[in-house]
Each structure stands twice: as C-alpha cells, then as structure tokens.
Amino acid sequence: MLLFDDILFAPLKGIIFLAEKINEVIEKETSDEGAVKERLMALQLKFEMDEIDEVEYDKREDELLKQLENIRTENK
C-alpha cells in the first residue's frame, strides 16, 4: 500500500515542492534591499522614457519605498 500511496501522491508532492521553491524565491526577492533598489531604478527609467505616467510612477514608487523601509527595519 505504501508504494501505491507514493505513486498516487507523487504529482501532489511535486506541486507542493514547486510552490515552496517559488515562495522561497519571492521571499528572497522581496527581502533583498538591492533587488528593491534595482526595481526603483528600473521604474524611474520607465518614467523618464515615458513608458508610464506620473500617477502610475508615484503609486509604484510608494509601494517600493514602503517595501524598502520594511526591509531596513527588519534588518535592524
């Protein structure tokens, strides 16, 4: 019965493993100060190249600055 269970649940275990790895990458990306700074610079470049308007820029900049502030307070 154990072998049957392993075969039956293998796809589910694979999906769970994949979800955990994706979650690790997301947590690393959102908790890395350098990555957030890079996204801020990319956002500024998009604004300067008129790819996004000022409203969108301000909204996304505020989100990234809050994220950066959270990272800095967590690292203290």
Confidence at 1, pLDDT banded by 50, 70, 90? low
27-50 residue pLDDT tens: 877 778 888 899 999 999 999 999
| Cβ-contact 31, 68 below 8 angstroms | no
Residues 7-35 as b/e (b if ≥16 CB within 10 A, e otherwise) read eeeeeeeeeeeeeeeeeeeeeeeeeeeee
pTM of the model: 0.63
56-72 residue pLDDT tens: 999 999 999 999 998 88
